[in-house]
Amino acid sequence: MDLAQFFDILWSVRWPILSGIGVTALVSALAIIAGSFVGVFVGLALTYGVLPLRWLARVYTDFIRGTPVLVLVLASFYILGTIGLQLSAFQAGVLALAVFCSSHVGEIVRGALQAIPRGQTEAAKAIGLTFSQTFSYVLMPQAGRQIAPAWVNTAAEIVKASTLLSIIGVAELLLATQEVIARTFMSLPFYFHAGFLYFCINFSIERLGKYVEKKLAIPQS
């Protein structure tokens, strides 16, 4: 394979590939942000919710976590349409990934909260903190240390799962790459290139996670 020829073609398709990266980043970011936000509440419901709520959150997480992302993507694109909620492929994709993300973050948050000794909550109660104060000032800072590494893992999963949106026609990085391959017949170099870009995106998330971990760590003296 002629390397100069590959870079030549790569330069000529820079805009479609860049727009693919943009769509992948946007879909992933929206899904991770929305999924993490909902996920924290799912985790709270799983840990401290009253029984019916805890039971509901349990069914939600188990059902979503036990379903392939592909099925979630197809369901939000096709099934929601038949009950009157017509989502575009982009919206349906973000919804499916966000829901998937929320179930994973929910479990991560539950695990982290349950790892905190009961005495912490009791002490917070004893000095008269409300539940939301207990959560923000006592529990979350401690849980955050547990959450950060697992959250990076989930975020990377979401970025990779975003490739499935090419099925319903979201022009993300994989589809943009396949479009180039269809014209140039250079499958190996361009798939390798796409793989490298996915690695870069996930590596940035990993670095971000490491940074957050460092911020949350107890200062060693």
Partner 1 sequence: MGTKSILAGLALALLFSATSASAQTSKLDEVLARGHLVVGTGSTNAPWHFKSETDQLQGFDIDIAKIVAKGLFDDPEKVEFVLQASDARIPNVVTGKVDITCQFMTVTAARAQQIAVTIPYYREGAGLMLKADSSYADYDALKAAGSGVTIAVLQNVYAEELVRQALPEANVDQYDAQDLIYQALNAGRADAVATDQSSIAWFLVQQPGQYKDGGYGWSPQTYSCAVARGDQEWLNFVNTALHEAMTGVEFNTYAASFKKWFGVDLAPPKIGFPVEFQ
Q: Which of 125, 187, 199, 211 binds partner 1 (CB under 8 A)?
A: 187
Q: Is 200 in the site for partner 1 (CB under 8 A)?
A: no
Q: Give the nearer residue to partner 1 in terms of CB position, either 155 or 175.
A: 175
Helix H, strand E, coil C: the string for 3-57 is: HHHHHHHHHHCHHHHHHHHHHHHHHHHHHHHHHHHHHHHHHHHHHHCCHHHHHHH
The answer to whether residues 17 and 176 touch, using CB atoms and an 8 Å cutoff, is yes
Q: Give the nearer residue to partner 1 in terms of CB position, either 82 or 221.
A: 82
In the chain, how many H helices and how many E strands?
Answer: 11, 0
The answer to whether residues 145 and 213 touch, using CB atoms and an 8 Å cutoff, is yes
Q: Give the nearer residue to partner 1 in terms of CB position, either 87 or 208.
A: 87
- Residues 38-77: x where in contact with partner 1 by CB under 8 A, - otherwise, as a string: --------------------------------xx--x---
Q: Which residues 6+ apart lie within 8 Å of 86 measured at CB? A: 80
The answer to whether residues 183 and 176 touch, using CB atoms and an 8 Å cutoff, is no
Task: Count Cβ atoms below 10 Å from residue 5 Cβ, excluding itself.
Answer: 12
The answer to whether residues 89 and 168 touch, using CB atoms and an 8 Å cutoff, is yes
11 CA to centre of own chain: 30
Evaluate the CA torsion angle 160, 161, 165, 170 in order and state its sign.
negative
Instruction: Pick the piece of the chain touching partner 1 (CB under 8 A) from 21-29, 37-45, 102-110, 184-192.
Output: 184-192
Q: Is 82 in the site for partner 1 (CB under 8 A)?
A: yes
Q: Is 14 in the site for partner 1 (CB under 8 A)?
A: no
Q: Which residues 84-123 are close enough to bind partner 1 by CB under 8 A?
A: 89
CA distance 55 to 125: 25
Q: Which of 72, 171, 194, 205 binds partner 1 (CB under 8 A)?
A: 171
Q: Is 208 in the site for partner 1 (CB under 8 A)?
A: no
Q: Which of 18, 53, 79, 123 binds partner 1 (CB under 8 A)?
A: 79
Q: Is 181 in the site for partner 1 (CB under 8 A)?
A: yes
Number of amino acids touching partner 1 (CB under 8 A):
29
Residue position matching structure tokens 């979630």: 72
Q: Is 168 in the site for partner 1 (CB under 8 A)?
A: yes
The residues binding partner 1 (CB under 8 A) are: 12-13, 15-16, 70-71, 74, 78-79, 81-82, 89, 166-171, 175, 178-183, 185-188
